[in-house]
Amino acid sequence: MRQRARQSRSPLAPELFRRLRSWEGLLLGVLAVIVVVTAAAVPGYLHPQNQINLLELSIEKAIVALALSFVIVSGEIDLSIASVMGLAAVLVAWLRQQGVPVEVGIVAALAAGTLCGLFNGYWVAIVGLPSLAVTLAGLIGYRGVALLLVEDRSIGGFPDWFNRLGQQPLVGPFPLALIVFAALVVIATVLLQFSGFGRYVYVVGSSREVARFSGVRVPRVKMAVFAMSGLTAAFAGVLLAARLGAVRGSTAEGFELDIITMVLLGGVSIFGGSGSMAGVILSILVILNLRNGLALANATGNTQAGVIGALLILSVLVPNLIAAARARAVRSARVEAGRRSLPSAK
């Protein structure tokens, strides 16, 4: 009986060790270290309300990171996400100033964000231009439109119900943005990891030619992920406007650094074709806790940006170094196996 019990449990141990040795396992360990060190230095850090406040301060970035994961897994990049966030927030405020109801302004902002994503997708998927160049132009252009609309003024005056949605708890201690994020985590995980569309995204990111010969409509998939990115960024911009209560042309400026780092640090390959939503979620928690810990340590904003930038470099460098080391090990093993087989062949 004991032997049977051991045999039934034995397959779980290798799987557990494999998970812990994965990139997600490394992120889990890093997150644990950050939380333990910060909790030891700051009394009450682990209080549930403090953790909710921690998430709430950057929840819009986390929401956009979920959509950007699809773009990067497909082998592309979207640098315009923060500018689309700012444009959506400004549109709601500017239309309100023109006498348009906020409800209509929200719909217009979401439509504008989707159009921005489709515009990016058209030039990348249909025309064939590099997404880096297209979305860099979008980063500048969409931000320019936002600045043209409001110049350097701060526009607020949103209705109370709109401000309450962004600033007050909706269900228990949880604000609307946090509830939306939790729902989107489930939707994004199912869509990327367990749906036909998600498989298409992985195939397109791995090899565009293989995807095309397999019958995958590559332009349609790329258009879809860019539209998803634009719509999600616009939605996050609306949530940001509700939380801040006032917006400027520079709203969400610089957010793309954190958002891209969240995705790449989560193990999503910059070359596309690999990555998991679990890694992205762990990366989000790592960055939010790290930023909070640095803020509590009185680190300046420039220092925090420098640390996040270093993480971005490491998130690209380390996985590629590991992959190169594994490839060398495999080649060495094959060469060694070939040498050992030579005497027997004689």
Q: What is the mean pLDDT of the chain?
A: 86
Residue 18, pLDDT score: 56
How far apart CA 277 and CA 282 sit, in angstroms, is: 9
Residue 308 and residue 284 in contact, taking contact as beta carbons nearer than 8 Å? no
pLDDT given at position 16? 45
**pLDDT at 343 (0 to 100):** 58
Tell whether the model's pLDDT for residue 298 goes beyond 80: no
Distance CA(114)–CA(136), nearest Å, equals: 17
Question: 187-235 pLDDT, tens per residue?
Answer: 999 999 999 999 999 999 998 888 888 889 999 999 999 999 999 999 9
Domains of the chain by residue range: 22-323
Distance CA 74, CA 40 (A): 41
The answer to whether the CB of 186 falls within 8 A of the CB of 38 is no
pLDDT of residue 5: 45
| Residue carrying the six token digits 């950007």 | 68
Distance CA 115, CA 305 (A): 30
Give me the pLDDT at residue 7, please.
Answer: 47
pLDDT, greater one: 14 or 303: 303
At 163, list the tokens: 């401000």
User: What radius of gyration, in Å, describes the C-alpha atoms of the chain?
Assistant: 23
Q: Are 251 and 90 in contact (CB under 8 A)?
A: yes
> For the whole model, what pTM was predicted?
0.85
Within its chain, how far is the Cα of 6 from the centroid? 41
For domain 22-323, give the CATH number: 1.10.3470
